[in-house]
Amino acid sequence: NAGVMQNPRHLVRRRGQEARLRCSPMKGHSHVYWYRQLPEEGLKFMVYLQKENIIDESGMPKERFSAEFPKEGPSILRIQQVVRGDSAAYFCASSPSIAGLEAEAFFGQGTRLTVV
Amino acid sequence: KQEVTQIPAALSVPEGENLVLNCSFTDSAIYNLQWFRQDPGKGLTSLLLIQSSQREQTSGRLNASLDKSSGRSTLYIAASQPGDSATYLCAVTAVNDMRFGAGTRLTVKP
């Protein structure tokens, strides 16, 4: 059972381009969280998704950012028209559920986005 | 809205010392609390998971406690080693929510 897989590990984009970050949760996990970590700062919650549903997007910037977790395939965090301030490490976590005993969250290695 | 606070923000100790990292949270209605370790430029590694019904968990030189009623957790590291140098984060999981503290940056000097 592979862990949470994020790709790419490193992504360089020019200002104004689009960035697509992918996260494949662990097998059997239907809950996905995205976090952003700015240089020298802690992890900030962005969005929580279950299959085909956005449960909580209170941490997502109102513009340019969107996330999805389709029935098939990985979760995608999409950033349109990137700006230098979007440069950060983006981490994805998955868990099998929220309630109950088996709720440990596992993290991917992150995608480091650099906007030049 | 759940808020998670970690104190201290940074800690430097000589090798061999026992130390305690603190985590507090404002909403006691949680399912579990996890402690993670993050090395510079790396992802997060789960260290310990404490369910809401538990009071502590131990793994090797690490011991984590949970006092839900007071909204506190501590991570105790015994006989610290230079390899323990990293940022330690706690995260609480509640309904539709998993929130992190800002972390404690630990440096263990040889």
Give yes or no for B51 touching A (CB within 8 A): yes
Distance CA A44, CA B73 (A): 20
Distance CA A107, CA B45 (A): 7
pLDDT interval class at B42 (50, 70, 90): confident
| Whether the predicted pLDDT of B72 surpasses 60 | yes
CB contact under 8 A, A104 and B49: yes
Give yes or no for B96 touching A (CB within 8 A): yes
Cis peptide before A8 (omega within 30 of 0): yes
Predicted confidence at residue B61, as pLDDT, reads 97
Beta carbon pairs, A and B, within 8 Å: 61
Q: Pairing relation of β-strands B72-77 and B62-67?
A: antiparallel
> What residue type is A49 in one-letter code?
L
Q: Which residues of B touch A30 (CB under 8 A)?
A: none
Mean pLDDT of chain A: 89
pLDDT interval class at B26 (50, 70, 90): very high
Q: To the nearest whole percent, how much of chain A has pLDDT over 90?
A: 59
For tokens 């404490």, the residue is: B50
Q: Which residues of A touch B46 (CB under 8 A)?
A: 104-107
Across the range B2-31, mean pLDDT stands at 93
**For residue B59, how many other CB atoms are within 10 A of its CB?**
11
Across the range A45-51, mean pLDDT stands at 90
Between A20-29, A47-56, B89-98, the lowest mean confidence (pLDDT) is in B89-98
Q: What is the pLDDT of residues A60-72, one digit of tens each?
A: 999 999 999 999 9
| Whether the predicted pLDDT of A102 surpasses 60 | no
Cis peptide before B8 (omega within 30 of 0): yes
pLDDT interval class at A105 (50, 70, 90): confident
